[in-house]
Amino acid sequence: MSKWENDDEVQRFREYLKIPSVHPDIDYDDCVKFLRKQAEELGLPVVVYEFAPRKPVVVITWQGLEPDLPSILLNSHMDVVPVHEEHWTYPPFAAHVTEDGWIYARGTQDMKSVGMIHLEAVRRLKQAGAKIKRTVHISYVPDEEIGSQEGMKLFAASEEFKRLNIGFELDESGPHHKPDEFFAFHGERTSRQIKVTCVGDPGHGSFLSSGTAGEKIAYIIDKFMSYRAEQTKQIKSRTIRGFGEITTINLTQLEGGVQINVLPKSLSASFDIRIAPHVDHDKFEEMIDTWCKEAGKGVTYEYFVKNPQVPNSQIEGNPFYTALADTVKDLGITMKSSICPGATDARFVRLQGIPAINITPIRNTPLLIHNHDERLNIEEYKRGIDVMEKIVLAVANVGIRHTNHKGDSPMRESAKL
């Protein structure tokens, strides 16, 4: 530990990591207490909303010089996924630091690191006396890892959120393994979870009756799996950037039957589907409906998750995105925005018509989100704060005439953003 013993940035990060805000049944009180303390130290106002009981949303605000302009939201979630402690080299909530600077803890990547990077960037900027035009809100939300139903979903749809007058949001992506690249996303796929149930007449296992549940379910599984095979072909042949740009289907559960020599009354198959943004969602739905009709009588389906399609954030010509991209580029880092293969809280913000970009400013790091031995090196954490400082300054000042590093003076279009 020695080397970082007196490093406040590291110690604050470790303090946050040590709070076991892990599913299930999280008590968020210690997170709220910790964040209130941070706001107090920074001399910034903090508001704690509770849109559902025991599900606090913490918002720390750094007011800009022109508070009427649309603001910037830096969002992170406070919750982390469960651990299999026996597979960890160091206890997952001890935030142990190795001799070579690796902090081992659940949340070092997903995403307490990002939440603290947001805060430390603002802290550094404030201490340096930086001036920002737009107000910056730093939010900490609950329950992202269990679908955000009582977290960002309620917050983003609230009057309180509207009053924050947000013009641009930053949320999580994931660390990049390369030394000079960031993952960034401007859109997400749509989650759908469907269970198809096929009913047939029971009978003896030695007959060759028609209209059996088995025949129907075979037809259904074949349709879903053929679609899946098509997508697999595409990912092999087309120049697409990862899973985010194709539709994935996985058969995840099979149920039914009572005994091996009895024709089952019903058999069901459940599928986890993630629809790519370019796919016509209504047509996709109709296609499934048609398959079920074709499979025969007594075939029904039920959606367990049926998320609405959320339009991608427009990045071309968006001055906030341009400011973000230019900042990253000036640092010699590559950032190509693509579609997020998973789901994040940014979808609820996009649903409100607010552009959102997922970016975790951490590189040179193996992707260990939700994995054993999730860890982050202190050097990369600090480099993340360096980058975020510049990003915050750039996006919070969009609309200001300034000189770039080459010496010319481009006008960042302010208009009515």
Which residues are at the interface with Zn ion (CB under 5 A)?
110-111, 172
Closer CB to Zn ion, residue 116 or residue 299?
A: 116
Least distance in Å: CB of 152 to Zn ion?
A: 11
Closer CB to Zn ion, residue 9 or residue 345?
A: 345
Closer CB to Zn ion, residue 95 or residue 111?
A: 111
| Other Cβ atoms closer than 10 A to 126 | 14
Least distance in Å: CB of 114 to Zn ion?
A: 8
Residue number, nearest CB to Zn ion: 110
Closer CB to Zn ion, residue 343 or residue 354?
A: 343
Residue 119 in tokens: 């805060």
* Catalytically annotated residues: 79, 144
Least distance in Å: CB of 65 to Zn ion?
A: 32
99-103-108 Cα angle (round to 5):
165
Task: For residues 367 and 364, give the distance between their C-alpha atoms in angstroms, rounded to a whole number.
Answer: 9
Least distance in Å: CB of 77 to Zn ion?
A: 6
Q: Which distant-in-sequence residues (6+ apart) come within 8 Å of 158 by Cβ?
A: 49, 51
Task: Name which of 39, 73, 22, 31 is nearest 56 in CA terms.
Answer: 31
- The letter for the amino acid at 132 is I
Q: String of b and e for 116-125 (b: at least 16 CB within 10 Å)?
A: bbbbbbbbbb
Closer CB to Zn ion, residue 143 or residue 380?
A: 143
* Tokens 């409906």, residue located: 289
* Tokens 């469960």, residue located: 82
Residue 339 CA to its chain's centroid (Å)? 11
Least distance in Å: CB of 187 to Zn ion?
A: 17
